[in-house]
Amino acid sequence: MHRLKVVHNPTTMMNTILDNSLVPPLAAPVAASMELVCPAGSLPALKAAVDNGADCVYLGFRDATNARNFAGLNFDEAAIAAGIRYAHERGRKVFVALNTYPQAAKAELWQRAIDRAAHSGVDAVILADPGMMAYAVKHQPQLRLHLSVQGSATNYEALDFYYQHFGIARAVLPRVLSLTQVEQVLEKTPVEIEVFGFGSLCVMVEGRCALSSYVTGEAPNTNGVCSPPKAVRWVETPQGRESRLNGVLIDRYATGENAGYPTLCKGRFDVGDEHNYYAIEEPTSLNTLSLLPELMRIGVRAIKIEGRQRSPAYVAQVTKVWREAIDSCRANPQLYAAKPAWMSSLDKVAEGQQHTLGAYHRPWK
Amino acid sequence: MTNTQPKMMRLALGPLLYYWPRDDVLAFYEAVAQSPADIVYLGEAVCSRRHEVRLNDWLDIATALRDAGKEVVLSTQVLIESGADVTVLHKITANGQFMVEANDMGAVHCLEGKVPFVAGPHLNIYNVPTLQWMAALGIKRWVMPLEMGRDDLALLLAGCPPGVQTEVFAYGRMPLAFSARCFTARHRNLPKDDCQFSCIDYPDGLLMRTRESEEFLVLNGIQTQSARVHNLLPELPAMRDMGVDVVRISPQSRQTVRIVELFQAVIQGQMGVIEASTELAALMPEKACNGYWYGQPGLEQVAATPEQV
């Protein structure tokens, strides 16, 4: 069921990557099949992704059915139709994320979203909930299904579960596996594997984290949000500027310190006699540019860029760098190296202005 | 009158989530054998590096508890990462003697269609279509997600297929999140692969406070728990009336058996909710919370409704 690689339309590509995008696929058959999957929180972001070389764009409806359910973000019917037209005219794909868990009182909202996605002509839906998958298989059997990272599938048995029951074509792996572990999974599954390449880093297993609802009542699984803006308060105090989430002190910044968004696992806390440290995780972004040859070698099918909540400028910047990197690596994996210019331009838009290899690099754990 | 009475709820002791010295674990389960717990979940559900009690030891404990009249269930690890983790998973799901609580879909896949199993609290069963679909795979019981409140639970109970039991996490610090990273090792400035098994020094986890000294979360290796103790003891009559079959108590290092006894006394009507709650409050490592049950943030404590007192 693998679809052929979409050939980039040179008229929409940046000059810098024209040459690489024309390398014949046969030169490196495995590498040639890696897709760049970019986020779109709005129509301008979708266009930025497409114009800068995304193979696929993923987006969500304007409600709790997707995991970036923020005010002012996401797509209504008109925008999704325009977005799909824009992408398809240029040979790119559109995925719709319906990757929260339907809540008991309104499960039909989620089922309707599957129907809406199918009727709009998207190339795949990204799902996490088995009930949703069963509905899609029964009512929209032509829909291509991707298992969301929120499905928490970290091993081949779990992937096989979704593959056998629902015929999922692809799965997005949680950001918890080392490179070796990703390779072990790939060796044993017929499912295409998509991994996160860049963006804000969830330190917890996606789909297995209720920290946000513990503090605010709303979380990714249930509401499609983490540390929601409506629960955030900034307070100026004699000790410094405080960020609070539903009243809980997440961080306190000294004068001149950069204040970050109070994602609750990225605050500074006290444990034992160690005070004021990032007990769980620093504000940082995942950046796997340097691992690209390895990810291609082991057969990763797609790289996902995080950030549907980010601006079109972010999407353009990150997509452009990753397009160039993937094409460079595909053309000559032996000589590939992540260019300092790429890294610095990504660091500028990274959370905390710094990056990590995360779990791919074992010592991080 | 008696045949209109709701059935008696049963008490389950959840899997031990902390890392205790071997002798402490063995002594704990000897005491549990004498306790009123009806069901005991066993096994290492958090971290594959923990080795004080190995799978064969867990099977010995399981046999002893079964001989003491308990329903024994083996819990699988929530986060399965490595090939070695999958090997252990296969051993548990193919044990042939004891029912298994599946804590990820890989475990479900190993059990479905073969033996009845328990769908654990981390499988994200939030709605009726998913519960019914999972039930068809052969689940004997499902455990409500921690985040779910009583209103949604009522909807799921109404749609729960006959013969499938419903279990609610009713007491203990809540396992809220799992990570590839070990936060206990991080606190000690150790890499996870050389963690020196630091968890063993924290029999109820490692308390994390905000910078204004509010008890917030508990670090338990790769797991993050609530600092506050989720306590639904006052809700036992409501849960019985709703049709909940099993309530789960999560082990803590002290007084777990007494806590089981208090829940049992309320279930059997030997003790009132107020009396039991008063004694229970003194046994908690931190103050109580029940927000999730009322559809509020989990850390909140919603006052008892008039009909409970």
- Pick from B7, B28, B24, B22: nearest CA to B258: B28
Neighbours of A180 (CB within 10 A): 14
Pull the structure tokens for residue A278. 């990032």
Residue A115 has pLDDT above 70, yes or no: yes
Nearest to A216 among B104, B131, B297 (CB): B297
Residue A297 three-state SS:
helix
Cα–Cα distance list, B243 to B12, B31, B161 (Å):
16, 29, 13
Residue A362 has pLDDT above 80, yes or no: no
A285 and A354 Cβ atoms separated by less than 8 Å: yes
Percent of chain B at pLDDT > 70 equals 96
Residue of A nearest to B109 (CA): A161
Q: What is the pLDDT of residue B6?
A: 63
Residue B51 has pLDDT above 80, yes or no: yes
Confidence of residue A16 (pLDDT cuts 50, 70, 90): very low
Pull the structure tokens for residue A138. 């029964």
Confidence of residue B1 (pLDDT cuts 50, 70, 90): very low
Pull the structure tokens for residue A301. 């099918």
pLDDT (average), residues A130-159: 97
CATH 3.20.20.220 fits B2-173+229-279, yes or no: yes
Residues 6+ apart with CB under 8 A from B116: B99, B138, B139, B140
pLDDT (average), residues A255-265: 91
Query: Mean pLDDT over all residues of chain A?
Result: 89
The verdict on A105 touching B (C-beta cutoff 8 Å) is yes
**B178 contacts in A (CB within 8 Å)?**
204-205, 208-209
User: Distance (Å, rounded) from C-alpha B207 to C-alpha B209?
Assistant: 6
User: Distance (Å, rounded) from C-alpha A106 to C-alpha B53?
Assistant: 44
Complete DSSP assignment for chain B: -GGGSPPPPEEEEPPP-S---HHHHHHHHHHHHTSS-SEEEES--S-TT--SS-HHHHHHHHHHHHHTT-EEEEEPPS---SHHHHHHHHHHHT-SSSEEEE-SHHHHHHHTTTS-EEE-TTS---SHHHHHHHHTTTEEEEE--TT--HHHHHHHHHHPPTT-EEEEEEEEEEEEEEESS-HHHHHTT--GGG-TTGGGG-TT-EEEE-TT--EEEEEETTEEEEEEEEE-GGGHHHHHHHT--EEEE---SSSHHHHHHHHHHHHTTSS-HHHHHHHHHTT-SS-EE-GGGGTS-TT--PPPPGGG-
Residue A12 has pLDDT above 90, yes or no: no
What is the residue type of B191? P
Containing H/E element for A259?
none
Residue A26 has pLDDT above 60, yes or no: no
Q: How many residues does chain B have?
A: 309
Verify whether the Cβ–Cβ distance A204 to B186 is below 8 Å.
Answer: no
Pull the structure tokens for residue A76. 């209504």
User: Distance (Å, rounded) from C-alpha B182 to C-alpha B215?
Assistant: 20
pLDDT (average), residues A239-257: 95
Q: What number is the ipTM of this complex?
A: 0.96
Q: Give the gyration radius of chain B's Cα atoms.
A: 19
Neighbours of B267 (CB within 10 A): 21
Verify whether the Cβ–Cβ distance B187 to A274 is below 8 Å.
Answer: yes
Listed ranges A236-240, A283-287, B164-168; the one with the highest mean pLDDT: B164-168
The verdict on A135 touching B (C-beta cutoff 8 Å) is yes
Containing H/E element for A331?
helix A312-331
pLDDT tens per residue across span B54-94:
999 999 999 999 999 999 999 999 999 999 999 999 999 99
Nearest to A269 among B105, B108, B216 (CB): B216
Residue of A nearest to B218 (CA): A271
Residue scoring higher pLDDT (B239 or A31)? B239
Tokens 């009583």, located at residue: B150
Confidence of residue B287 (pLDDT cuts 50, 70, 90): very high
pLDDT (average), residues A96-124: 95
Confidence of residue A174 (pLDDT cuts 50, 70, 90): very high
Verify whether the Cβ–Cβ distance A205 to B124 is below 8 Å.
Answer: no
User: Distance (Å, rounded) from C-alpha A207 to C-alpha A260?
Assistant: 24
User: Distance (Å, rounded) from C-alpha B73 to C-alpha B53?
Assistant: 16
Q: What is the pLDDT of residue A19?
A: 35
Nearest to B177 among A104, A107, A204 (CB): A204
**A153 contacts in B (CB within 8 Å)?**
104-106
Q: What is the pLDDT of residue B179?
A: 96
Q: What is the pLDDT of residue A356?
A: 87
Task: Sketch the domain layout of chain B as residue ranges.
Answer: 2-173+229-279
Q: Give the gyration radius of chain A's Cα atoms.
A: 20
B102 and B86 Cβ atoms separated by less than 8 Å: no
**B295 contacts in A (CB within 8 Å)?**
217
What is the residue type of A292? L
CATH 3.20.20.70 residue spans of chain A: 10-201+284-364
User: Distance (Å, rounded) from C-alpha A104 to C-alpha B128?
Assistant: 7
Residue A88 has pLDDT above 50, yes or no: yes
Q: What is the pLDDT of residue B72?
A: 98
pTM of the full predicted structure? 0.92
pLDDT (average), residues B99-121: 98
pLDDT (average), residues A36-59: 98
Query: Mean pLDDT over all residues of chain B?
Result: 95
**B151 contacts in A (CB within 8 Å)?**
104-105
Containing H/E element for A13?
none
Least confident of A317-331, B243-257, B291-305: B291-305
Verify whether the Cβ–Cβ distance A209 to B178 is below 8 Å.
Answer: yes
pLDDT (average), residues B287-306: 91
Confidence of residue A112 (pLDDT cuts 50, 70, 90): very high
Q: What is the pLDDT of residue A295?
A: 96
Verify whether the Cβ–Cβ distance B219 to A177 is below 8 Å.
Answer: no
User: Distance (Å, rounded) from C-alpha B137 to C-alpha B43?
Assistant: 23
Q: What are phi and psi of A70, to 5 degrees?
A: -110, 150
Homologous superfamily of the A10-201+284-364 domain (CATH): Aldolase class I (3.20.20.70)
**DSSP E strands, A210-321:** 232-237, 240-245, 248-253, 269-271, 274-277, 285-287, 302-305
